[in-house]
A = this chain, B = another copy of it.
Amino acid sequence: MSAKAKNAAIKSRPDFPVAQARRYLEPGPIVLVSSHHEGRDNIMTMGWHMVMEFTPSLVGCVIAPSSHSHRAIRESGECVINIPTVALVDKVVGIGNTSGADIDKFEHFKLTPEPSRVVRAPRIAESHASLECRVHDASLAERYGFFILEVVRACAAKAPQNPETLHYQGDGRFMVAGKVISRKGMFQPHML
A residues with a Cβ closer than 8 A to B are: 20, 22-23, 26-29, 47-53, 58, 60-62, 86, 89-90, 93-94, 96-97, 139-140, 144, 146, 148, 162, 165, 167-188, 191-192
| Residues of chain B contacted by A27 (CB below 8 angstroms) | 28, 167-169, 175, 177
Q: What is the count of identical protomers in the complex?
A: 2
Q: Point out the residue from B86, B167, B169, B172 that lies within 8 Å of A167, measured CB to CB.
A: B167
What CA separation (Å) do A97 and B192 show in the bound complex?
A: 10
Look across to chain B and name the residue whose beta carbon is closest to the beta carbon of A86: B181
Q: Point out the residue from B47, B60, B139, B176 that lies within 8 Å of A179, measured CB to CB.
A: B176
Give 7 A-B contacts (CB < 8 Å), ordered by A residue: A26-B169, A27-B167, A51-B62, A58-B144, A96-B187, A172-B192, A174-B180
